[in-house]
């Protein structure tokens, strides 16, 4: 049966990890790593020109694809053919001595360092697991301690104080706040939601805005424009409620990787302090000196027109939910992330 060519599923990784590499040479390469163990026929899924491809290699490929394809699976026949094609490419490259080229040597050394970095991080995390006591302490300190009030409000954002005062006058005459927001607010260009900001805490807004909302009674709007760096606001306070911290179990999975990263960072900082490091390149670029322009008398001209100011941007929430603020939304696994999902194999 004629096999169709399948696009390589994993680009930039070790091409045939687990294959028998006894015939490969290391001449001209980076410092030699431990040779891959020989593969017995009983432990192989295929043999290509005498080179065995291990069953463990197929298992690793299946696992990688499942992780990067969100559970999608491929027929075993396709995966075995993929490994066969990789081995053919490797053997062809070896025959052409591409492994001895400077480009390959540099890439091999870079890949080796990346894998060692990953191995070091994984080893540290395994040896220094996050304990339940550490999670509880972080929860008590950062999550349970979060107390305060959340507000629900609408706003209309305009460029000038005069515009804001005009809108307040219209509201005093009974105008609908949401309709005025859709018609006049600068941030209504993206969504016609009547200026609705949803629920937010005081920390999520700039101080003048938060202070104005907190001072309002429920159902009331500001009688004077509120100035921020974004422009002038007219604010309607719709409701308020006390902040209720989420239970420990609800945020445990978010706190764990955060604490892992914190430990890793502390470990790296310790290594940095113990190491002798000398930076050999300038870390800032020198700005070229501007040459003095020759003094030339110019005819008098009219004053330039005032530049048009950029449209003020709407107030933005700087922090999201309590749990997301706690974990800073930057928490990821310390291990090096997997490559992008593979392309669908041709049928």
Percent of the chain scoring above 70 in pLDDT: 70
**How far is the C-alpha of 214 from the C-alpha of 267, rounded, in Å?**
43
On whether both 169 and 90 belong to a single domain, the answer is no
Written as one string, the DSSP assignment of 238-272 is EEEEE--PPPHHHHHHHHHHHHHHHHHHHHHHHHH
pLDDT 10s digits, 51-79 = 999 999 999 999 888 888 887 888 999 99
Q: Is residue 44 included in any domain, yes or no?
A: yes
How is residue 293 written in tokens?
Answer: 């322009």
On whether both 235 and 255 belong to a single domain, the answer is no
Residue with tokens 């009688």: 223
Q: How many domains does the chain have?
A: 3
Q: Is residue 154 included in any domain, yes or no?
A: yes
pLDDT 10s digits, 122-178 = 999 999 999 999 999 999 988 877 778 999 999 999 999 999 999 999 999 999 999
On whether both 254 and 327 belong to a single domain, the answer is yes
On whether both 82 and 98 belong to a single domain, the answer is yes
Which CATH number belongs to the domain containing residue 217 in this structure?
A: 3.10.50.40
Q: Is residue 54 included in any domain, yes or no?
A: yes
Question: Cβ distance 9 to 65 under 8 Å?
Answer: yes
Q: Give the model's confidence band at 190: pLDDT under 50 very low, under 70 low, under 90 confident, else very high.
A: low
Which residue, 72, 62, 89, 73, is CA-closest to 7?
Answer: 89
On whether both 43 and 97 belong to a single domain, the answer is yes
On whether both 140 and 219 belong to a single domain, the answer is no
On whether both 187 and 98 belong to a single domain, the answer is no
Average pLDDT, the chain: 78
Q: Whole domain around residue 254: which residue ranges?
A: 128-145+246-271+312-339
């Amino acid at each position: 049966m004629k096999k169709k060519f399948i696009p390589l599923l994993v680009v930039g990784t070790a091409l045939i990890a687990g294959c028998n590499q006894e015939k490969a040479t290391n001449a001209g390469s980076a410092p030699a790593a431990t040779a891959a163990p020989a593969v017995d026929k009983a432990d192989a899924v295929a043999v290509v020109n005498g080179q065995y491809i291990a069953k463990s290699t197929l298992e690793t490929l299946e696992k990688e694809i499942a992780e990067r394809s969100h559970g999608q699976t491929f027929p075993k026949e396709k995966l075995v053919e993929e490994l066969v094609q990789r081995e053919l490419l490797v053997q062809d490259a070896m025959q052409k001595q591409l492994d001895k080229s400077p480009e390959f040597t540099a890439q091999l050394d870079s890949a080796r360092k990346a894998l060692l970095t990953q191995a070091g991080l994984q080893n540290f995390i395994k040896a220094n697991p996050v304990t339940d006591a550490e999670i509880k302490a972080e929860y008590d300190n950062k999550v349970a301690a979060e107390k305060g009030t959340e507000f629900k409000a609408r706003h209309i954002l305009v460029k000038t104080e005069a515009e804001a005062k005009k809108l307040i006058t219209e509201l005093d005459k009974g105008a609908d706040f949401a309709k005025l927001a859709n018609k006049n607010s600068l941030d209504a260009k993206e969504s016609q939601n009547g200026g609705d900001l949803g629920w937010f805490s005081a920390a999520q807004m700039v101080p003048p805005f938060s202070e104005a909302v907190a001072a309002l009674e429920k159902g009331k709007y500001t009688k004077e424009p509120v100035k921020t760096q974004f422009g002038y606001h007219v604010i309607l306070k719709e409701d308020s409620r006390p902040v209720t911290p989420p239970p420990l179990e609800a945020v445990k999975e978010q706190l764990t990787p955060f604490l892992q990263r914190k430990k890793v960072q502390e470990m790296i900082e310790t290594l940095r302090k113990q190491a002798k490091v000398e930076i050999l390149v300038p870390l800032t670029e020198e700005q070229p000196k501007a040459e003095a322009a020759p003094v030339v008398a110019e005819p008098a001209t009219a004053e330039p027109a005032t530049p048009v100011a950029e449209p003020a941007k709407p107030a933005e929430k700087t922090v999201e939910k309590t749990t997301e603020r706690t974990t800073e939304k930057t928490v990821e696994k310390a291990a090096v992330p997997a490559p992008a999902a593979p392309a669908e194999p041709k049928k």
